[in-house]
Amino acid sequence: MLVLGIESSCDECAAALVSDGTQIVSEVVATQIAKHRPYMGVVPELASRLHVELISDVVANCLLKGGISKRDIDAVAVTSKPGLVGSLIVGVNFAKAYAYAAGKPLISVDHILAHLYASQMVERLDYPYLGVLVSGGHTLISVVRDFNDIEILGSSIDDAIGEVYDKVAKFYDIGYPGGVVIDRKSAEGDPNAFAFPFPKLDPKLYRKYDMSFSGLKSAVINQKGKFLKAGAQDTIVNLCASFQKAIIGIIFDKIRIAISETSIPRVCVGGGVAANSLLRNSVLSLRNEGVHVSIPPIRYCTDNAAMVAGIGSEYYSKGLFADMSLSPEPRVDRFKGFIRKQSN
Ligand code: KG4
Ligand code: ZN
């Protein structure tokens, strides 16, 4: 079984060929980071235009690299949701045309489920497992019951964790992508230099595993003058380290509680922020407590097509195909929205 995966939901234009669900035959990722850097964030219109320019070559090069001809592919899997609408349109339409021309089935892939599946390609984890997604657009803790079946325990009620990293870095003008820069600078700073608030959500209004990051973001941003007045050479690295300790603390706290309360001793972390050194070390340390931890290698944490082809192989095995009416869904409410409990 050979599945071609196509990913274009945000700013990476990627294709991968995966054989038998886990063997990556070839992959190509055309990153747009340099093009968005001047704006210190992804510019949606620019991203979709770049996908249009890149996608044919990315897919052609992926086949060339793998020495594979169109004929040898069994199916075409594409990210169809959630993501930037313009970017998704390019990938979905390309995949539809490609599958149609090659006479191969089309598979629709959910980007969130693909991130939560990524580590499965390296190491099989028995279902159910706790699936933690930390990316630029989403933050959630779920119980993954199967490759296409997750129960969301909680999610961010405001900003996504990666979004906060990127906004803080933009505000302090320290580089792009923010998460990568802050993580690097944190290594040189003192995580105890500044104390930031730890959010407490009203249990009458929110689920136990819901999280909030915007208060922390405001605390870091609004006191820029105060922090910089501290004046010491190492203020920025100390700020990065203290912020990182606080933000990773919020999610790690929830992960620990979820493991103990659900009694599921298996956890997988996916999404761009799963590349973060503090989060990786914190989650990996749970192995000492008997928890089975699975985190993909860094290149499979950020957006890639191998995870799309990987999960696509599961759909292929079950005969779960899309048809030519497939259209992109930029927002999936159950991932983004939070449930506000009714107060009496
Ligand atoms: O999963 P991803 O590639 O795209 C989305 O689906 O959103 O995640 C991108 C996010 C960005 O916010 C980026 O700053 C963050 O992942 N990121 C990191 C690190 N590497 C990437 N955040 C913290 N630490 C990192 N090392
Ligand atoms: Zn992603």
- Residue 270 corresponds to which amino acid? G
343: pLDDT strictly greater than 50: no
Starting from the CA of residue 302, give the closest ligand.
1
Mean pLDDT of 81-88: 97
201-243 pLDDT, tens digit each: 999 999 999 999 999 999 999 878 777 776 666 789 999 999 9
187: pLDDT strictly greater than 90: yes
Q: How many CB atoms lie within 10 A of CB 260?
A: 12
Q: Are 321 and 75 in contact (CB under 8 A)?
A: yes
Yes or no: domain 2-116+302-339 corresponds to CATH 2.60.40.1180? no
Q: Which CATH architecture has domain 124-295?
A: 2-Layer Sandwich (3.30)
Omega before residue 44 within 30° of 0, cis: no
Two tokens, residue 33: 């980071």
243-285 pLDDT, tens digit each: 999 999 999 999 999 999 999 999 999 999 999 999 999 999 9
Cβ–ligand 1 distance for 270 under 6 Å, the answer no
Q: Where in the chain is the domain with CATH 3.30.420.40?
A: 2-116+302-339, 124-295
Average pLDDT along the chain = 94
The ligand 1 atom at the shortest distance from the C-alpha of residue 301 is 1
Q: Are 270 and 296 in contact (CB under 8 A)?
A: yes
Q: How confident is the model at residue 340 (pLDDT cuts 50, 70, 90)?
A: low
185: pLDDT strictly greater than 60: yes
Q: Tell how far the Cα of 136 is from the centroid of ligand 2, in angstroms.
A: 7
Most ligand 1 atoms within 8 A of CB, residue of 273, 278, 283 to mutate: 273
Q: What pLDDT, on the 0 to 100 scale, is given for residue 344?
A: 42
15-68 pLDDT, tens digit each: 999 999 999 999 999 999 999 999 999 999 999 999 999 999 999 999 999 999
